[in-house]
A and B are shown apart, each in its own frame.
Chain A
Amino acid sequence: MQSGLTTLDYIIVAIYLIGTVGLGLAIGWKFKTGKDFFLAGRTLPWWAIGMSLVASDIGGTDIIGVGGAAYAHGLAVANFEWIGCVPAMIIAAFVFVPIFWRMGIYTIPEFMERRFNVGVRTALGLCWLIFMACNVGIMLYASARMLHSLTGFSEAACIWATAGMVGVYTIGGGLKAVVYTDVIQCSVMIGGCLLVLGIGLYDLGGIDGLREQLAALGERTENHTSLIVPADAKSPFPWPAILFGLAFILSPAYWIGNQAIMQRSLGAKSQFHAQAAFVWGAMLKILIPVIIAVPGLIAIAKFPDLATPDAAFPTLAAQLLPTGIRGLFLAAFIAALMSSVDSYLNASATVATKDFYLRFVNREADDNRILVIGRTVTLVLMIWGIGFAFFIQQAGENTGIYTIFQTLMSFFQGPALAMILTGFFWKRANGIGALSGFICGIICAVGLFILHNWHQSFGIEPLFRIEEPFLYFSIWSFVVALIVIIVVSRLTPPEPAEKTAFLKLNVEVSSNNV
């Protein structure tokens, strides 16, 4: 790809970037309150939120990584976008989103204080803040590596350029800028990937041609067109991990409990718009594996001997796309990475401001003050993200830092889901139980991670038989957290009735547009 880019390609990318940053700035300059900044003044329509949900979920590294995983392991990676998204989004739309929206909260940790206590809120807020702030750095670094390989620019320049552009419109325009730039980014991403898919399939003679080419590769592609892979297959996606770890734990934890995701729906102009956004997002999700995983299959059919699976998508784009259109693919890639970085930046700023500054430092801050604080915190987190990206670059991936933070989300997502589910569906669950379960669940996940990754130091066999067992970590940490929440809640006094009063909202959702 690197040598194949021409001036026309770069002009197309420049037009896209100027348009995106300009839109973001134009949206933000009229803001007057913190509510405008963090929840877009609760004015967002369903179609914009839905596209933003999808764009935020698909990062630049996902386009390359999913294409690479499809190249190496086949279509089973599509489970992450299908059964790993669609059912949870639909359930979230009709059960959780209405209650969160009607409560008028800004963050998921804020819900935890309303339902349990400030300790639970702080613990979850801290986990999310650390994860999201570090994730901004990880995404900047991972994206810079990809951009470096695609364009030849230095990694440092790519980190600065991406952070600068995303920072400018996120600081200026808050959630509204993030969501509306995500709409452009989602469209460009889908359009660019559709082009690669269409031209790739045409080149192979259609779907039948693809099937024939894959069959010709013999045993290597035996499971490549199957979504459900045997439990003992040499794949990171065996069906028990996909069903129990992804579909039952990580997926609902992500779509219900992820601040970066749920914050969009909290900014919806009405409860109906918040719900419709999730349903629209679920429909878009059905398309995503087709445009980012199938190109991986096309790549293995055309180039079965690539040095690394992650080269699949870029190689396909470089070989098949004509001048100018390659620029569109590069723009799609940049769009994907910007849409994820801006989401986590905005969400982490919201948690830092609402769950820490406004909760513990200055509870009486007026709207103008909140707006200034929100922008300042976003700037500080952007600087932190840049620093963390350079830290990972200096430390090198071999230190394990990169892997640890990649796995970090699976450490607390399972326990966080256990808290949300018991908080919603079991009135007897209390704050002491929730906090105990959350902490024990995290200890369980971290313990499993240490025992598995450093098993030789303990003189034992690996705990799991697949390379990246993060789906299994989430199952066990969820189970442990759930058991501890139930046991401790039973042994300690219940919460007062007003803590569970919000549950009545569940039967009053007929009054949609509040």
Chain B
Amino acid sequence: MTPLHHIGDFFRDLVLLVPLWAARTIFVFVLLVVFIWVLRLSPERVSPCEIEERNWTNNLKLWAAIAIGLQIIIYLIL
């Protein structure tokens, strides 16, 4: 056993303490953080600059939120 093995075993023992439901919660939490960040993006960062071109289909926030939202559902179910 080298010091690297001891370091590896330490982290391995640590993650083995985490129950699977908690691991799933971490996955969903990470996605939820991204989801909230997307919702908080300013309109200027998610739409074309020309005001006349802005409409709901050109709002990337909507599509990004749908993509992340679907991920959250998938990781809650599977």
Contacts and interface: CB of A to CB of B under 8 A. Distances in A.
B78 A247 contact: no
Contacts of B49: 272, 510-513
B20 A230 contact: yes
Contact of B67 (A231, A275, A282): A282
Nearest to B49: A512
A86 B71 contact: yes
Contacts of B42: 510
A243 B30 contact: yes
A410 B48 CA distance: 36
Contact of B50 (A231, A282, A513): A513
A247 B30 contact: yes
Nearest to B50: A513
Contacts of B67: 86, 90, 279, 282-283, 285-286
A58 B2 CA distance: 39
Given A86-B71, A275-B60, A513-B50, A75 B78 contact: yes
B27 A510 contact: no
Nearest to B19: A230
Interface in B36-78: 38, 41-42, 44-50, 58, 60, 63-64, 66-68, 70-71, 74-75, 78
Contacts of A285: 67
Interface residues of A, number: 42
Interface in A273-328: 275-276, 279-280, 282-283, 285-286
Contact of B12 (A98, A225, A231): A231
A286 B48 contact: no
Contacts of B20: 228, 230, 239
Interface residues of B, number: 39
A119 interface: no
Contact of A91 (B5, B8, B34): B34
A94 B46 contact: yes
B71 A82 contact: yes
B27 A243 contact: yes
Contacts of A464: 8
Interface string B1-31: 1101100100010011010100110110011
Contacts of A272: 47-49, 58, 60
Nearest to A242: B27
Contacts of A240: 15
A122 to B, nearest CB: 31
Contacts of A460: 1-2, 5
B5 A94 contact: no
Given A230-B20, A276-B60, A463-B4, A94 B45 contact: yes
Contact of A93 (B5, B60, B75): B60
28 contacts: A87-B71, A91-B34, A94-B38, A94-B60, A94-B64, A227-B78, A228-B20, A231-B12, A231-B16, A231-B18, A239-B15, A243-B26, A247-B30, A272-B58, A272-B60, A275-B46, A275-B60, A276-B60, A279-B67, A283-B66, A461-B1, A463-B4, A463-B8, A509-B44, A510-B45, A512-B48, A513-B49, A513-B50
Given A228-B75, A243-B26, A512-B48, 12 more contacts: A82-B75, A87-B34, A90-B67, A94-B45, A228-B20, A231-B16, A239-B27, A279-B60, A286-B67, A460-B5, A463-B8, A464-B8
